[in-house]
Structure 1
Amino acid sequence: MSEAHAAARAAVLGSPISHSKSPLLHTAAYRHLGVDISYTRVEVAEHEVRSFLTQQGQEPGWVGWSVTMPLKAAMVPQMTSTSRRVQTLGVLNTVVVTEEVDGGRSFHGENTDVDGIVAALQHQGITRDEAPSGTFAVLGSGGTSTAALAAAAELHFAEAVMYARNEEKAAASEPVAQRLGLALTVKPLSSLGDDIRAGLLDVVVSTLPPRAADHLVPQLPTSHDSPPVLLDVAYDPWPSELARAWSERSWSVTSGLEMLLHQAVRQVELFTENMWNPAALQNDADHFLMVRKMRSAIGLHEGAEALDR
């Protein structure tokens, strides 16, 4: 293995960052691949983005960064290039770092949150190959909410409803929805329960911060013949009150850990594309084993997650 590979490193950036499980996921993947990439946490506040990129980000060895709140939008203008997906959404969660021949660094922004949401919902049986139909609900209007809209489009939903505390902020996502080919309606969070009761929703993705959805539980009907599937992006604590309420009603629910897993799988593929054993070029059996090891690293078992762990 070359000296450059031996010095390779990656990190998750954000603030606060101490709770992040990304180091567990990435470390398990790199051990499986046999590539020497160290992965750590780096506390970076929103106002520190530019100074990080021009100082610490210029140090040798970086192959990429996972990006979490509050940096998902703030990073975008600082990128050397961005994917079409990031251009559409205006937010990223991944930066691929490349060392140029002149010794400088280029930064490419990508968004693998979309991959994570799509895969987590497919894990719950949400697969749609037919013409666009159905309604996809998003709770919240932050950086992950636009990734949820992109996932809705990729899963062939026809329309989305964004339930938000700040409806004006949520309305700013309408141009994104238009670019994705989604009809978007913005509603207050207080109308979620009535819309579930009326059978208007097929999927609910909560992008609200931990505990921010607790107050929605009393809105929920006690039973429903065809309840929507819930993906609660917040995974600490787990189960959230919303997820617990869904489970108590025997409705389908999956945690943000499932999303976190699959978005990290795609990041690993991006960060190792120039290494001796790129994750994206594994055969199906090896890729499956890598994902299983990553899943085990965060205590996420095959099948539906246990809500009492």
Structure 2
Amino acid sequence: MTRPYAEVIGDPIAQSKSPAIHNFWLGKLGIDAEYRACHVTGAGLADYLDQRRQDPDWRGCNVTMPHKQAVIPMLYSIEPPADIIGAVNTIYPAFDRLLAGTNTDAAGFIEPLRAELEKQHYFRMARILGTGGAARAIIAALAQEGFTLVLAGRDPAKARALLDELAPSGEHHAIDLAHFADPTDFPFDDREDCLDLVINASPLGMRGQPALAFDWSHAPPGAIAYDIVTDPLETEFLKNARAAGHRTLDGLNMLIGQAALAFEKFFDAAAPRQHDAELRELLTR
């Protein structure tokens, strides 16, 4: 006997925490369905989507590295905000099982910042480290929230092109990631009534990846450090931020937030967020 299922695809995929999140919620809600991880290479992406579209039990998939942009020409429709971001992280069968793609990363990223964003600020600035697929959603989300962006990448020209594409209005800046590696004695002005973020939107600092070189003298007083890496959850980036006196947000914030929106698409039910503390405990064992 078969039952409905959704899954996450990527290359690699073994490290994904998405099955644990979605199956936790399915269990809490008593929904007879499952969520899996499926290793899909770039060469196998089109075949995967064609096969799943024909499977009546398949409710959709989340898309992780490195397929978030590669899937776009394979889909029937691209829904907001994926059309603006230019990256898809959620695919689901729509009318006549034609495949639609959307992006829940942007809303998931913003979710833990919502209380801060409801306040009035004299100025908002975000230093974003990384220019990959996740950065696209973060750039678009923060531009909509009125931030001035400093986007740092190993290729500043790529960073500039991303800003021009995703945040064409505003005084945004593209710089070399190496700029932040060495200490600075820059005298920050009064940051009262300002909101500053420093975001690691790269895989640097992830288990098996090189460390992220960031000296916290580049962060204004009161800045919030936000790392989207989830393995390890307590990255050196966050440890060093806390040691320098900054508030921190770990990668489970974005991961759980974006998953909740996808869960509703897949299973037509709201994720039971009242159990977030228990879920976090499960994911950090």
* TM-score, scaled relative to structure 1: 0.80
Aligned pair partner of 1:206 in 195, 200, 216:
200
Extract unaligned runs of 5+ from structure 1. 281-286, 300-308
Distance 2:216 2:235 in 1: 15
**Against the structure 1 CA distance between its residues 196 and 52, is the aligned structure 2 distance closer, same or farther, given a 3 Å change threshold?**
farther
**Residue from 186, 189, 193 that aligns with 2:174:** 186
Residue 145 of structure 1 aligns with which residue? 135
For the 8 Å contact 2:77–2:101, the answer to whether it is kept is yes
Does the 8 Å contact 1:63/1:98 carry over to 2? no
- Which of 80, 96, 110 is residue 76 of structure 2 equivalent to? 80
- TM-superposed CA distance for 1:33, in Å, is 2.0
Local SS of the residue matching 1:171: helix
- Equivalent of residue 108 in structure 1, options 95, 100, 114: 100
> Which of these residues, 18, 24, 34, is aligned with residue 28 of structure 1?
24
Aligned-residue offset at 1:92: 1.2
- CA separation of 1:165/1:257 partners in 2, compared to 1, >3 Å: closer, same or farther? same
1:94 Cα deviation after fit: 0.7
Quick check: 260-269 or 30-39, which moved more? 30-39
For residues 132 and 82 of structure 1, what CA distance do their matches in structure 2 show?
Answer: 35
Long gaps (5+) in structure 2: 190-194
Distance 1:58 1:136 in 2: 43
Partner amino acid, structure 2, of 1:238: L
Asked if structure 2 preserves the Cα contact closer than 8 Å seen for 1:79 and 1:107, the reply is yes
AA at the equivalent of 2:98: S
**Residue 67 of structure 1: aligned partner:** 63
Q: Note the alpha carbon deviations across 1:129-170, whole angstroms, 9 max, x for none.
A: 54783111211000000111122134x233111010111222
Distance in 2, Cα, partners of 1:231 & 1:207: 9
Superposed displacement of residue 120, structure 1? 2.7
Match of 1:305 in 2: none
Structure 2 length-normalised TM: 0.86
> In structure 2, what is the Cα distance between the partners aligned to 1:189 and 1:177?
19
- Cα distance in 2, alignment partners of residues 216 and 128 from structure 1: 32
Structure 1 residues 292 and 240: alpha-carbon distance in aligned structure 2, compared to 1, 3 A threshold? closer
For residues 10 and 57 of structure 2, the distance between their equivalents in structure 1, rounded to whole angstroms, comes to 20
Give secondary structure in 2 for the equivalent of 1:208.
coil
Structure 1 vs Structure 2 CA RMSD: 2.7
Match of 1:266 among 252, 261, 268: 261
Identical aligned residues as a percent = 26
- Are the counterparts in 2 of residues 7 and 37 from structure 1 also a CA contact under 8 Å? yes
Q: Residue 118 of structure 1 corresponds to which residue in structure 2?
A: 110
